[in-house]
Amino acid sequence: MDQQALKRRAHDVLRLNSHGSWTTPAPGYYPHQWLWDSCFIALGLARVDPALAAHELVGLTRGQWSNGMMPHMIYSRGWPQRLEARLWARSQLAPLRHRTSDITQPPVLAIAVERVAASLPGRERGPFLALMLPVVVRFHEWLYRERDPEGTGLVALIHSWESGMDDSPPWGYALRELPRVDPQWKFIHNMTNRDERATDVDAQRMMGLVQVINRAEADNDVLYRTSPVLVRDVSFNSILAAAGESLARVADEVGYDLPEKLVENHARTRRALETLWDEESKQYYSFDVRMNRLIDIPTVATFMPLYAGSASPERAEELRRLLVDPTAFGSIHPIPSVPLGDPAFQRRRYWSGPSWINMNWFVIRGLERYDFYEEAEWLRLRTLGVVDTNGFREYYDPISGEGLGAHDFAWTAALVLDLLG
Ligand code: GLC
């Protein structure tokens, strides 16, 4: 592998997707700004262009609602007639000047802020953090206030899109009772192969859930009490725990006082993650609040508490074994989003089997956290290898390595830059 060439190609993909101060996930297919995509993009840009990385995150602040929510999408101007932008009921809380979605996405922001701040020259760091810290604090406060009103430590999601893993099988389970909605869902499939996207049934249910959210006028209090779908997602909460650590470190560095309650909540999240462990199968699962049980369908999300650092050494060792097991997650091109032997596994379909570079990135960092350096290096090299051979795609067939989904996918390029660095 020619690492210098790979680095150049990755940087080119980010240039191709750049809109100046922010970056789209993929040309054509994803023309807007997405929350966690931009955080991954900033992590990569921090390696090659710290000032632009800072702009990427500042660009996200355009979308913040007056209650603190960071929306999962900020729509591009010039696409107002596109179905996506008209999907959501307009909330009074949304910013006036930008059209956004009414739901959030994993809170990678604090993690990206820490990384980008560290890459900036000293005199730019202060102003950047002065701008970003209050944004992150309000976002996290919103998460706890409106998505964990019971103070469990685990925030609950109201749509699978909030998890970032749209059609992951546990989410398919959580959505199973929703009515299928006919109109308005076809855009989800409009450009790539149907067998690489959510099934029609899943897509229709996701749209049905948008209607539930619209009917509640995106009122989180109403949704928390009445929505048929409410899930304490293991991946989202692991990211939140790690984001809490990032936030504490940067706040400490610049002498910014974090609200005490928020600090307590982050600690509670870290502890509560361990309630998502299932001793019988020795894996972590998301919790279905409506059913009051763990959704025991295995996915790559089981490894996320490694990233959070919440898992005990014993649990981490169980996960390490599962990761390299060739009948489970140890495929030739890891990490399959669903383990190979599972009935839900589909090698080409979106979050139901393919390997995703962002999940690999989290797991590599998680393995390093537990001193599993050999496994981390194995996964890092396999990850760089699959991209080098098959291009900067959205996801990959975990058996053949074939690139799937969108082309020139920005977070794949960005995280390659980080993994090369
Ligand atoms: C898909 C992914 C989601 C991502 C978005 C934009 O919807 O499931 O995680 O943020 O595309 O890339």
Between CA 236 and CA 214 the distance in angstroms is: 23
User: Where does residue 325 rank: exposed (0-12), middle (13-18), buried (19+ CB within 10 A)?
Assistant: middle
CA 393 to chain centre: 17
Residues in the chain: 421
What are the structure tokens assigned to 176, written together? 């199973």
The pLDDT tens digits for 45-68 are 999 999 999 999 999 999 999 999
pLDDT confidence of residue 378:
98
Q: Which residues of the chain have pLDDT under 50?
A: none
Using the mean position of ligand 1's atoms as its centre, give its distance from the Cα of residue 35 in Å.
9
Give me the half-sphere count of Cα atoms (radius 13 Å) on the Cβ side of residue 319: 31
Among the listed residues 10, 9, 1, 39, the one whose alpha carbon sits nearest the alpha carbon of residue 22:
39
CA 361 to chain centre: 11
Taking the CA of residue 36 as reference, the ligand 1 atom at the shortest distance is: 10
Any idea which residue has 């103070």 for tokens? 151
The pLDDT tens digits for 109-140 are 999 999 999 999 999 999 999 999 999 999 99
The answer to whether residues 76 and 146 touch, using CB atoms and an 8 Å cutoff, is no
The answer to whether residues 310 and 244 touch, using CB atoms and an 8 Å cutoff, is no
Using the mean position of ligand 1's atoms as its centre, give its distance from the Cα of residue 204 in Å.
17
Provide Rg for the chain, Cα atoms. 20
The one-letter amino acid code at 151 reads G
Q: What rounded mean pLDDT belongs to the chain? A: 95
Among the listed residues 102, 139, 67, 72, the one whose alpha carbon sits nearest the alpha carbon of residue 215:
102
**Contact 65 CB / ligand 1 (< 6 Å):** no
Between CA 32 and CA 23 the distance in angstroms is: 8
pLDDT confidence of residue 174:
97
What are the structure tokens assigned to 111, written together? 């993690």
Using the mean position of ligand 1's atoms as its centre, give its distance from the Cα of residue 123 in Å.
34
**Contact 30 CB / ligand 1 (< 6 Å):** yes
Using the mean position of ligand 1's atoms as its centre, give its distance from the Cα of residue 407 in Å.
13
Strand order in the sheet with 293-294: 231-232, 287-288, 293-294
pLDDT confidence of residue 266:
98
Cross-strand pairs, 396: 355, 403
Taking the CA of residue 25 as reference, the ligand 1 atom at the shortest distance is: 12
Between CA 15 and CA 12 the distance in angstroms is: 5
What's the sign of the alpha-carbon dihedral 293, 367, 10, 348?
A: negative
Among the listed residues 259, 370, 251, 356, the one whose alpha carbon sits nearest the alpha carbon of residue 308:
370
pLDDT confidence of residue 185:
53
The answer to whether residues 116 and 47 touch, using CB atoms and an 8 Å cutoff, is no
Neighbours of 247 (CB within 10 A): 26
pTM of the model: 0.98
pLDDT confidence of residue 203:
87
Taking the CA of residue 351 as reference, the ligand 1 atom at the shortest distance is: 8
* Residue with CA nearest ligand 1 atom 3: 164
User: Between β-strands 283-284 and 277-278, what pairing exists: parallel, antiparallel or unpaired?
Assistant: antiparallel
**Contact 169 CB / ligand 1 (< 6 Å):** no
Between CA 139 and CA 63 the distance in angstroms is: 11
What are the structure tokens assigned to 7, written together? 């680095």
What are the structure tokens assigned to 262, written together? 């928020």
Between CA 386 and CA 104 the distance in angstroms is: 30
